[in-house]
Structure 1
Amino acid sequence: MTLLANGGPSLVFVGISLVALLTIFAAGFMGARAGYGYADLEQVPRPPPHGHDMRPGPGPGRFREPSPVDTEALAAVLAAPHLQFCYNIGEHERHVFSQQGEDGVLEYIFDNIGTTDKYYVEFGTEACTECNTRHLWDAYGWTGLLMDGSGKAPDSRIIQNHMITVENIVELFEKYEVPKRFDLLSVDIDTVDYFVTKKILDSGYRPRVIASEINPYFDIEDRLSVPPSHTKWLGTPVFGQSPRAVFEQMEKYGYRTVYTDRNSINVFSIHIDVLVELVHKRTSLTVSHDIIAQLLPPFEYLYRRRAALHGMTHKEFNDMKKSKFMEVHP
């Protein structure tokens, strides 16, 4: 089942529902012609009357198991309404303390998936007067670890002063006793975000939601990041990671990217197990990862590119990107 972005969020789900329902209807119609009922999946197989032949197949008193196509189609129909929020996130962008609309995005995501420990890790916070977790702390009682090379919060929060590197990130997580599972990771260091995130995930940490800064100047096919040696941003377009690099990295570690903000600065990813649990909690169905993935926005729906950045044209950026960035594969 392929989702097309062109029809818009509501049309996507209408299309999925119609196709799936037609599949079920067709299966039931053919079943009825063969001599057995197919009113709904809960009644299949029907217990045969005492003494009847219990072998599967058509004919009086016979029954059959539903096909995988039947059950997957029904699962998709029942799961789809509970994942519709992934297509509505853009309506909820809101700035309270964040630089862009991240406050509203995170608020809306956690309104839908719920929280477990209200614990966050955010680094690259500066003074955290504009950061992704202050609203969660201020309005909802979240707590967690804030880190920056030279940050000092204007309130009671403590920012641990560390320059974040690939080499020290896991050591810092261990030093501050970050749990292996927690609600939110926010990464924004303008340099080796890709490799730091990889190190965290390779070390077994699995935040439920990850907010990642991206470089909005890349083409849709680019799988690029600054190299690991690039440890300082100089205020130029040479920073960070491409949208596709993040999308594919997230996918490798069991996440699905569900939103890119309007200014193409941050992307938001949810671990697919969280969405499986969400559907199960609301429907009692255990839906496969594949079905969940088919119901989520594809990369082409999420991709946005900025028209200009730091005084450099897109052509100028393309001319230099091969020498300043490296190709990455998860």
Structure 2
Amino acid sequence: MTPAVFEDAMVWSSTAAPNSARNRTSQHGEDGIIGRIFSLFPQSPTPRFCVDVGAWDGKHLSNTYSLLCSEDPSMKWKGVLIEADRERFDELRALHSPINSSLPKILQRNSVPKDLDFISIDVDGTDYWLLHDLFDAGWRPKVVLIEFNPTMPIDLVYIQPRSDRVRHGSSLSALVELANKKGYTLVETTLFNAFFVMNELYEDHLADEVHDTSIEALHEVTTGTELYQLYDGTVKLHGCKRMLWHRSYAIDETKLQMVPSSERGFPFAPSSNDESIHQDDSRDEQIRASAINIASYCTDDFEDGAREKCRAKLYETLMTSGFALIRGTGMSGSTCRDCLRSAKSFLHEADEAVRRSTLTKDRARRGYSPICTENFASLVGKKGPNDLVKKTNVWPDATVWGEKEVEFFKTSIGDYYCGLCKVAESVLQAICEGITANDPKLKKPLEAIVKPCNDSNKPLSESHTSILTLLGYQPGTRHKRGSKGFMKPLVAAHTDVGVITVLLFDSGECASLQRAEDASSADPENSTWLDVDLPSIPADDPIFVVNVADCLSELSAGAVRSTLHRVVPRPFGDSKICRAVRTCLALFVGLEPNDCLTLPSGENMTYEEWRKKRIAKATSAMKE
């Protein structure tokens, strides 16, 4: 760095201690992380010392304000705050008198110890070179917080030119390489900042808390923009499709094309009789053979004994695994295909502005947001509480997406939702009759579930807590094996909170739905996982996945199981695996909030009371 960058600085001494809040003045939780790191170190008999390079006004988005200005007098902190921008620095004058000097002179003149406790470097550009020069000059801070460019891939080593006039930023990998050479270990990251601790302090105090210090384990790029190529020569964008710091500019995918559209095509396309096609057909036939035909519950025209046979098989399957494949629903194959196609267009192909145009203050998104997924809540039905979402009637903006696209989207989603709600009513009737046929004592607890099926004035599609969710999974960093050779799930192992879930998904192979082999297992770490598959393309008699949710499992006293399931990525490295995106339509079936439940134990409560109790129990378990 040239001295001109640090022509203004100020010294600040205060009695302070790290604030326990995650964000007091920091931007992405740095206050809490700093506090946690130092809480693991032995207490210092002398005041700790910090340096903040790029301090702004000393408070706005500051990573040191909570150290220097805490009201807790139990620990003392001293520090040096440095700011190059004249306007920002003027605001520091109200706090202390400035000193004009270069960075080395500032540190030396103010007797900053070589083994200072903490330094924060955030200058939007030459951060790498500041840390480099700090190490070369002999300073060895115990903890380093430094900004990196969050759009750069984690495997990219990029060091911006050594110039104050350049504003590129450096990559996290470049900073990790530098820190490792100087005896530092990466222990945490936020969206923009990395935390490094001296190796000896990490080994003595943090190794038990931060087991895996690889970049893959500690950071995931969520604001990056990636390019990938389709077989026909089309160049596609994945990730952030707007300029991050110049937000009025979108990245135009059409301007990135190298091959003219008239010349695109896969030069090595297989013939139509390729062996893989026959393998897919054979696989689809096996799936169809295993599906339970519930036509007797979806039509008034059925043979004697058909319903008894259907509910017995459905009950036996759900009792054993908690999951079942069903067919004979009466749903149109074209309705299913249209809905999947419009959902895929909305989630994966449309510009981000299209999805954003549907958001309201209720945020029609699921309560969890797995990496590499785009989750969009039901666009039909009444507003009301749900286990994880709120419904919305806000459709994509036609001025953003186009009138034809929006109309097709609304029609296909609406037709599918209404049709599948009728299917869900029939499935619930079959399940409940199968349960009570085996245990008549459960008829009373199951009345709340059977009621919607028999009440023609209150169809399931109007139930406040039944909701259709569109799920999109895309290849991303979680498809790459980490330092220990494993990949994190896209959706962690869980059970559904409501009554049942009815699923349909396409053949996109970047993700796979899995269920625990042992339906009674509550331990995802030690479970054996089985893939749940559907045919590649919904046929005229489409097949759906049905899984039992927690409410039905509890009301049936465990007669049918609410089974752990998850969504996992498929690795890039396997040449047999396609990286195609996956689109899933999930109908989460619930009850009216005021519906009265009588549990097998005899306890009475409303569905809303049960739901809150169940979520509180899950939240408590997660905190243990």
**TM-score normalised over the length of structure 2:** 0.30
> Using a 3 Å threshold, how does the CA distance of structure 1 residues 258 and 157 change in structure 2: closer, same or farther?
farther
1:38-117 mapped onto 2 (5 Å cutoff): 94-116=22-44, 117=47
| CA apart distance, 1:118 | 1.5
User: Does the residue aligned with 1:171 lie in a helix, a strand or coil?
Assistant: helix
2:192 to 236, 240, 265: 265
CA contact (8 A) 1:115 1:183 kept: no
Residue 234 of structure 2 is matched in structure 1 by: none
Residue 137 of structure 1, aligned match among 68, 71, 75: 68
1:217 corresponds to: 151
Q: Which runs of 5+ in 1 are unaligned?
A: 1-91, 163-167, 280-290, 320-330
Residue pairs, 1:23-42, within 5 angstroms: none
5 Å-filtered alignment, 1:101-180, equals 101-116=29-44, 117-130=47-60, 131-139=62-70, 140=72, 141-149=76-84, 150=86, 151=89, 152-153=91-92, 156-157=95-96, 160=99, 168-180=102-114
Question: What is the aligned length?
Answer: 203
Shift in Å, 1:115:
4.8
Aligned to 1:287: none
Task: Determine the C-alpha separation between the residues in 1 that align with 2:117 and 2:139.
Answer: 11
Q: What is the rounded CA distance, in whole Å, between the counterparts of 1:104 and 1:161 in structure 2?
A: 32
* Secondary structure at the counterpart of residue 153 of structure 2: coil
Correspondence 1:196 to 2:108? no
Using CA pairs under 8 Å that are at least 6 residues apart, name the structure with larger relative contact order, 1 or 2: 1
Computing the radius of gyration from Cα coordinates, the structure with the larger value is: 2
Identify the residue that residue 181 of structure 1 maps to in structure 2. 115
The one-letter amino acid paired with 1:136 is L
- Identity over the aligned pairs, expressed in percent? 26
Question: Could you report, residue by residue, the CA deviation over 1:126-150 in whole angstroms, capped at 9, with x for unpaired residues?
Answer: 1112211111112254221011123
Contact 2:185 2:198 in 1 (8 A): yes
Query: How far apart are residue 239 of structure 1 and its match?
Result: 2.4
Bigger drift between 245-254 and 291-300 goes to 291-300
Which residue pairs with 1:302 in the alignment? 218
Query: Which of the two has greater strand per residue?
Result: 2
Tell me the distance in 1 between the aligned counterparts of 2:209 and 2:252: 35
Please tell me whether the aligned partners of residues 124 and 147 of structure 2 are also in contact (alpha carbons under 8 angstroms).
yes
Equivalent AA in structure 1 for residue 35 of structure 2? E
Distance 1:258 1:106 in 2: 11
Contact persistence 1:259–1:268 (CA under 8 A): yes
Contact 1:97 1:103 in 2 (8 A): yes
Alignment of 1:207 with 2:144, yes or no, is no
| Whole-Å separation in 2 of the counterparts to 1:213 and 1:220 | 14
Of Structure 1 and Structure 2, the greater helix share is in: 1
Match of 2:397 in 1: none
Q: Structure 2: which 5+ residue stretches go unaligned?
A: 1-19, 225-239, 257-624
CA–CA distance in structure 1, aligned partners of residues 28 and 98 of structure 2? 21
C-alpha separation between the residues in 2 aligned to 1:142 and 1:155?
20
Indicate conservation of the 8 Å contact 2:187/2:210, yes or no. Answer: no
- Partner secondary structure for residue 222 of structure 1: coil
Deviations 1:91-140 (CA, angstroms, capped at 9, x unpaired) = x8711112221111111111112453321001101111221111111225
Instruction: Judge conservation of contact 1:145–1:159 (CA < 8 Å) in 2.
Output: no
Shift >4 Å, 4+ stretches: 157-162, 291-294, 312-316
Instruction: Give the alignment's Cα RMSD to 1 decimal.
Output: 2.9
Matched, 1:251 2:180: yes
C-alpha spacing 1:137/1:276, structure 2 compared with 1 (3 Å):
same
Q: 2: distance between equivalents of 1:313 and 1:93? A: 36
Query: After superposition, what is the alpha-carbon deviation per residue over 1:140-174, rounded to whole angstroms, capped at 9, x for unaligned?
Result: 54221011123133764556566xxxxx4323321
C-alpha distance in structure 2 between counterparts of 1:180 and 1:292, whole Å? 27
Query: For residues 158 and 266 of structure 1, what CA distance do their matches in structure 2 show?
Result: 29
